[in-house]
Structures are given as structure tokens and as C-alpha cells.
A and B are shown apart, each in its own frame.
Chain A
């Protein structure tokens, strides 16, 4: 893997990391979009969508309240999608390892967002007098500096994570012992239990929601059991 392999992925990670908070928050950074985009960039959009859907289940839990600390999914899903489709045939363990890579990146990236916010505060504090004087250039400058720093943050993080995790995952897959379907099943159980718990956490106070969920679940199971879709 060389710089030219990493650069496009890093740029995508930077742009989608920027979308999480700074600009334009159009949810291009959601895993189902970001991982699919990474897959498409590397020639396997279907593979990107597959891992993106699994990560999207986990991301249902994330409620990005402004001041709280949460995983940053934009760059992380690009990394997850990138390392997953890098293994062309998606061997046993690829999904579980890609999720681990994406979650570890999301954790690190969430931390980097906190550091960026602290940096933004330092920049604002050092320009306090100009801000109190209503200096137009300072207000606009702070905004542009914050967004530029966020773009760089996401790109650097994506580059480092992608460059480190791709060979690590390849090495782990060579000694992976578990069966492909069991490996996927474990990954799906992990993701889906987070998703189901999130749905319960977010919506359990809505009157009648258990019955509504149950009705939807029944319909979903019948569709799958009769072999109609998704297989």
C-alpha cells in the first residue's frame, strides 16, 4: 500500500468527517452512506453497503447531542468500508474485523473531535478582544479555521487508520479459524443487539410502541421466512 492508495480514501474520510458536525450535517457521514462511498471508491460499492448496513445498526445508538462526546462515524465508516472491501472476496472474519476497525477508529475520532473543540476554544480565547470589538474578519476567520482543522483531522485520522488496519486485518484473516457464516452471525448479533437496545432506549416511552414494533417485527420475520427478500 502506498500514498496514492491511501490519499483518495483519506480525502473521502476528511470530507465525510467534516459532515458530522461542521459542514453541512447532511448525514453523508452516516455509515450506510460513508462505507458505501468508500466501497464505491475502491471498486466494490456492494461490499461497502454490506458493512455500512452493519455499522448503521450500531450507529442507531448514537444521538449526537451537541456538547456530549460520541463516536465520529464519518471517517470511521470510510475506514470500515475501505478495509472490508480491500479483501476482495470478504473471507470469514472480514466483517467482524472491519467492524472492530471501524469502532476503534470511531472511538479515536470521537476523542479527536473533543481535542478539536478545545483547539477552537483556544483560538477563540486568544481573539477575545477582537470578538468583543465585533471584528467581522475574526468571526469569519474562526469559522473557516475550525472547518479547515476538522477536514484535516478527519483526513489524517482516516489515512493513519486505513494504512495501519488494512495490513493488520489481512494478517489476522490468514490465521482466522471460525466458519464464515458463524463469523458473520456473531458480527450481526453484536450489531443488531446494539440497534435493538437503541430502538428500545429511544422510543420505549412512546405509547403503544411495543405493539407497533412487534407488528413490524412479525411482518419482517414473515417476509424473510417465506423467502421473499433479502436472501
Chain B
């Protein structure tokens, strides 16, 4: 197996990820890429508590994630690559080998406008997603596997609102 899901979700590890996707995809490990969390032991410990014993979680800053990405792709288990920021995922996409990106939850912050019920974006964030899509990456929004995958153009246009 390999990394079967590349997800942007500002809640990072939570029920939709661990149970919603984790169970049907038989996920064995999660690679969480976030510079702040990788540098902060108690935060990493907190996120580790959200993952069941049978699932491993690895914390990386962006630079070390790029260095380890191929090793994770070679892992015999199925894994999820998880970032909380669009910019982080864009750097991983630029490294190569990522063909699909899942928008799982990008929530309200000052400056962001609502695009669908669980996706709020600033204009630079929308541009970053457009750039990834222009590079051939298929981007869809889908919170849980049983929900309909919404293509990026429909997300950006707010078609589902």
C-alpha cells in the first residue's frame, strides 16, 4: 500500500479522519505535517492521544516530510498524509507524486469567505488550490467517504451553498 489519502483539514486528527476514513480504508498510519506541532512536544502528544493504538502517527515539519515522503509511499500499510494548511500541502505537491488532494475541512477565520459548508478560503488560498489543480492534481472536497466528492470548481464558485 502507500499514502492513499492526501487531506487538508485544519482540525487535523479527529473523528472523520480516524473513524470516517480510517476504518473503511484500513489505515495503518497517519503522517501529520505541521511546522508548529512538529516543534511542540505537548501538542504532538495531544494529537497522538487521538489515534488508536493500532494506528501509528508521525509528526513532521515540511522540510523533514519532504525528505521522508518516498519512504512513507513505500510503506506496506495504507496511510493518510494530513496537513492543516493549504500552503503546506502545496509544497508537498510541488515535490511530486501527489495526484489527488482531499479538502476535509478549512474553517472560518477572519479574511476567509465561505465556499461550501465546511470550506472557507482567502483569495490567496483559493489561488493556491487553483495552481495545484493547474498542475494536474485532482482536488475535491469530501468530509467523509460516504459524502459526494465536490470538484474544486464547484467549491470555489460556491455552487453547493
Contact = CB atoms under 8 A, between A and B. Distances in A.
Q: Do chains A and B touch in the complex (CB under 8 A)?
A: yes
Interface of A: 63, 65-69, 114, 117-118, 201-202, 204-205
B23 A205 contact: yes
Given A68-B144, A202-B23, A117 B117 contact: yes
B62 interface: no
Nearest to A207: B54
A63 B105 CA distance: 18
B24 interface: yes
Given A65-B15, A202-B23, 16 more contacts: A63-B15, A63-B20, A65-B16, A65-B144, A66-B15, A67-B105, A67-B143, A68-B16, A68-B20, A68-B143, A69-B147, A114-B117, A118-B117, A205-B23, A205-B26, A205-B54
Interface in B76-109: 105
Contacts of A65: 15-16, 19-20, 144
A204 to B, nearest CB: 7
Contacts of B105: 67
Interface of B: 15-16, 19-20, 23-24, 26, 54, 105, 117-118, 143-144, 147
Nearest to B108: A121
A63 B24 CA distance: 13
10 contacts: A63-B19, A65-B15, A68-B143, A68-B144, A68-B147, A69-B147, A114-B117, A201-B23, A201-B24, A205-B54
A204 B23 contact: yes
A67 B23 contact: no
A69 B23 CA distance: 18
Contact of A67 (B24, B26, B54, B118): B118
Nearest to B146: A68
B143 to A, nearest CB: 5
Contacts of A69: 147
A41 B105 CA distance: 42
Q: What 5 pairs between A and B have smallest CB-CB spacing?
A: A65-B15, A68-B144, A68-B143, A65-B16, A67-B118
Contacts of B16: 65, 67-68
A205 B54 CA distance: 9
The interface centre, meaning the residue of B23, B26, B118 with most chain A CB atoms within 10 A of its CB, is: B23
Nearest to B105: A67
Contacts of B143: 67-68
Q: Which of A67, A118, A201, A202 has the most CB of B within 10 A?
A: A67
Contacts of B26: 205
Contacts of B24: 201
A75 B26 CA distance: 34
A110 to B, nearest CB: 12
Contacts of A68: 16, 20, 143-144, 147
A202 B24 CA distance: 8
Contacts of B20: 63, 65, 68
A67 B24 CA distance: 19
Contacts of B144: 65, 68
B23 to A, nearest CB: 6
A63 B54 CA distance: 21
Contacts of A63: 15, 19-20
Nearest to A64: B15
Contacts of B19: 63, 65
B120 to A, nearest CB: 10
